Amino acid sequence: MRHRTPPPIEVRNVQRTIRVSTGSMQRFANTACALVWEHKRPRAEIACVPAITVLIVSDRRMAALHQEFCGLAGPTDVLTFRHGEIVMSAETAARQAKMFRSSLTGEIRLYLLHGLLHLAGFNDVAPRQRKQMLQLQRKLFFSLCEDGGSWSGANG
């Protein structure tokens, strides 16, 4: 079933290591979802899912998911699943924030936006598609963050 409006989105922090403001992240998620909706591709998953769930997890949980679904060892920053789940690692975000001299909040927002773009039909496997997706990601990220946010360039 295809929707005429963006699906509801819920952010849940299910890890205990890194402090994350779920209220602030929820507000960002609502706005980002509406903005990404305007850029969705034909037949995008975002138009068919009943809801989007965003989970902020530990590196340990992320590594298990990464192994199970991608066959790759170790944690990654964000995984997006076809039925509307976006899973992000808070610990990876904290490390990336230090490495790119950005903020934890900025990193998590970037991961969330990246996951939403995947649900909106964008792909970053082929170089040309990756370039197109990351250009849109950068444009949307800056428009979502009042002061330009803390663009790290993560995910590309």
Residue 4 within any structural domain of the chain: no
Residue 1 within any structural domain of the chain: no
Residue 44 within any structural domain of the chain: yes
Q: Say which CATH number the domain at 93 has.
A: 3.40.390.30
Show the domain range for 124: 9-144
Give the SS3 label for residue 6. coil
Residue 2 within any structural domain of the chain: no
Give the SS3 label for residue 98. helix
pLDDT in tens, 72-94: 999 999 999 999 999 999 999 99
Which residue, among 149, 144, 147, has the nearest Cα to 36 in the 3D structure? 144
Q: Which residues, 6 or more positions from 151, have their beta carbon under 8 angstroms from its beta carbon?
A: 102, 106, 110, 138, 141, 142
Q: What pLDDT is stored for residue 151 in this prediction? A: 43
Higher pLDDT, 149 or 123: 123
Domain count, the chain: 1
Q: What pLDDT is stored for residue 1 in this prediction? A: 62
Residue 38 within any structural domain of the chain: yes
pTM of the model: 0.91
Q: What pLDDT is stored for residue 11 in this prediction? A: 98
